Structure 1
Amino acid sequence: MNSPRSTLLQGVGFATLATLSWACNFISPYVLGEYSIQDFMLVRFMMAGLMGLLLLPLYRAQLRGLRPRQWLTGMGLGVLGYLAYSACIAGGVIFGGPLLIAAFIGAVPVLQALLGNAQHRSLRWGQLALPIGALCLGLVMINLHVLRAPSGATSLGIGLAFSFGAVVLWLSFSVINQAAMEHLHTGATSAWTCLMMIGAGLCALLLAPLAWAADWLRLPTLGIANPGALRLYGWALLIALMSSVIGAWAWNLASRRLPMVLSGQLIALEAFFATVLGLAFHGRLPSLAEALGLTLILFGTACAVRVILAPRRSCAEACPVTSQKHCR
């Protein structure tokens, strides 16, 4: 049987893998070629939905333990946390740049830590002061460069709107998914991930005619089998695998092993990975302020992990026989 500390460390590992996978969302606007972001999003999520349909029969035993309402909840979460969230990420990158949206996503840990500790008072508020303070300061350091950069007010305003929307969507997804996972039997994680993928894919399929009618798609005019289109399909498949399959699978496993107050802090790693990827695609190194901001985000995340693990370690050392039963 795993100890509480071992379980938490596994959760941290899975959450890190999930945030790295989800950070791939931020490179979508850089791999479009001549095609539109709408082309990419629809192709990507229809691919994800198809993968979910192909994988779902492998988990028939898991599905038998799910009620119809849970099926609908899983597919709805796919629309909320996959399609809608990724669309806001792409809009934030296009209109505000890679650092603005990454900084906003980095604010999620602060909000989620407050929400999680308010719902399940597992820590004194003073214990969260250092990690939350470091995260906030890191976000400010990154935002200083963004807000001083030359950009039109309208473009920045749209970028801010998309970024704020991404934060709201992620908080909603995280809270609903965490609550739903508590009512799933322990072996249903893979089927749950497939249902999310199918929900996002069905929504993308339904939106495709509307996007075509609005003349947002370039695939019909530029071609669906030329080298540019094949490159688009390749990137869409890669990001679908990383974000929709590996990211969701790893996060669902992390959600079973981590309290919400800690999982919220670890989402800060998505902002770190996204900023690194964004800078890489821009072909430049971070400025001093950005480097300090990234360092503070990592420091705040490490502090949060230490704060959560410390009470469990102390409890286990004080009462090694009954620690698994009584430590929370």
Structure 2
Amino acid sequence: MWTGTLYALAAGLMWGLVFVGPLLLPEYPAALQSVGRYLAFGLIALPLAWMDRAALRRLVRADWIEALKLVAIGNLLYYVCLASAIQRAGAPLPTMIIGTLPVVIAISANLRDHRRDGRLPWARLLPSLLLIAAGIACVNRVELDALRADPEADLKRYVQGALLALVAVACWTWYPLRNADWLRAHPDRSPRTWATAQGVATLPLALAGYVVVWVGTSLLGRDFPMPFGPRPWFFIGLMAAIGLFASWIGTLCWNAASQRLPTAVAGQLIVFETLAALAYAFILRGRAPEALTLVGIGLLIAGVMWALRIRPEPRAVEGHTG
């Protein structure tokens, strides 16, 4: 249990980096940042795939199709929506909306996967979910008050950002559930191999997406220097860093956690991503969080710790009488 939790913590620290990119590259289209990140991920995965080629050969066509689905929705579409949301609404609001993932995934997994993982009793799960929800609400309240006090705030853009963040939540509710399905169905397979397989599957999709963005930019007549934008070396370096740490190492750690933890519990541990993203956002702002924000972070941590105390109840085996 604790080993899985540490892997989930490492994944959260890595994934929190994805909230930084759109803030550091505000002039870059979200679609370009998404395909650039995953093109870097795919290229990083190639030498790893060569080293792991014996294990990758064991994957059948159905496995590769599943990997393509996972990267298309859980990687490319998710990050397009998230980066667009951050560019429109700033980092805190999308971070808080994405922060509802632990609650959404825990409820979805408990409804969907109780036959496989055992059912987490709702009465015991509820306090954890309420603590996490209350923590998110506290942090969100501070950010919304700051938005109301900003005379230059564009409400339309914030609403667009919120809606895009909700689509990102839907993408990343689907991804861990489907990813856990494959990992739990293949306990003999290495999480590293599956992370590398997703990187390899990402490469052709990201390359095609890059071409589409490039052609689309030209056809629309936008004054944006392709292929790497106005700050090419910074863009390439940042995409490479996010591709390595957030995409490959983060996916590897999450796969390791998913093999060790019930999906309903693992889903709640995505709260580590929210905490990491908040920490990085406040570091970029150069100021400490508000008192209510710290209260919210404390509630989030308390909710996670409560969840770790819960053990699934095995499905009752129906007997028969003769």
TM range (shorter): 0.7 to 0.9
What is the correspondence of 1:41-120 to structure 2 with a 5 Å cutoff?
41-118=34-111, 119-120=113-114
Q: Which residue of 1 aligns with 2:186?
A: 184
Q: Which residue of 1 aligns with 2:199?
A: 197
Query: How many Å separate the matches in 2 of 1:24 and 1:240?
Result: 10
**What is the Cα deviation at residue 169 of structure 1?**
0.4
Query: How many Å separate the matches in 2 of 1:105 and 1:218?
Result: 30
Q: Which residue of 1 aligns with 2:318?
A: none
- Which stretch shifts more, 245-254 or 280-289? 280-289
Q: Which residue of 1 aligns with 2:273?
A: 270
Aligned AA for 2:45?
A: G
Query: How many Å separate the matches in 1 of 2:304 and 2:190?
Result: 29
Q: Which residue of 2 aligns with 1:218?
A: 224
Query: Are residues 60 and 201 of structure 1, via their aligned partners in 2, closer, same or farther at CA, if it must alter by over 3 Å?
Result: closer
Check the 8 A contact 1:23/1:273 in 2, yes or no: yes
**What is the Cα deviation at residue 13 of structure 1?**
0.6
1:182 is paired with a residue of what secondary structure? helix
What is the correspondence of 1:144-293 to structure 2 with a 5 Å cutoff?
144-148=141-145, 149-150=147-148, 151-215=153-217, 218-220=224-226, 228-293=231-296
2:20 is paired with a residue of what secondary structure? helix
2:52 is paired with a residue of what secondary structure? helix
Q: Which residue of 1 aligns with 2:123?
A: 126
Check the 8 A contact 1:19/1:267 in 2, yes or no: yes
Query: Are residues 139 and 185 of structure 1, via their aligned partners in 2, closer, same or farther at CA, if it must alter by over 3 Å?
Result: closer
**What is the Cα deviation at residue 185 of structure 1?**
4.7
The alignment yields a C-alpha RMSD, in angstroms, of 2.2
Query: Are residues 33 and 89 of structure 1, via their aligned partners in 2, closer, same or farther at CA, if it must alter by over 3 Å?
Result: closer
Identical aligned residues as a percent: 26
Structure 1, unmatched stretches of 5+, are: 1-7, 313-328
Could you report, residue by residue, the CA deviation over 1:150-182 in whole angstroms, capped at 9, with x for unpaired residues?
332211111111110111000110111111112
Aligned AA for 2:79?
A: S
Query: How many Å separate the matches in 1 of 2:71 and 2:140?
Result: 30
Correspondence for 1:135 among 132, 152, 174? 132
Higher share in helix: 1
**What is the Cα deviation at residue 33 of structure 1?**
7.0
Could you report, residue by residue, the CA deviation over 1:43-92 in whole angstroms, capped at 9, with x for unpaired residues?
22111111222211211221232211101111221222122212222112
Aligned AA for 1:22?
A: W
**What is the Cα deviation at residue 192 of structure 1?**
1.4
Check the 8 A contact 1:76/1:196 in 2, yes or no: no
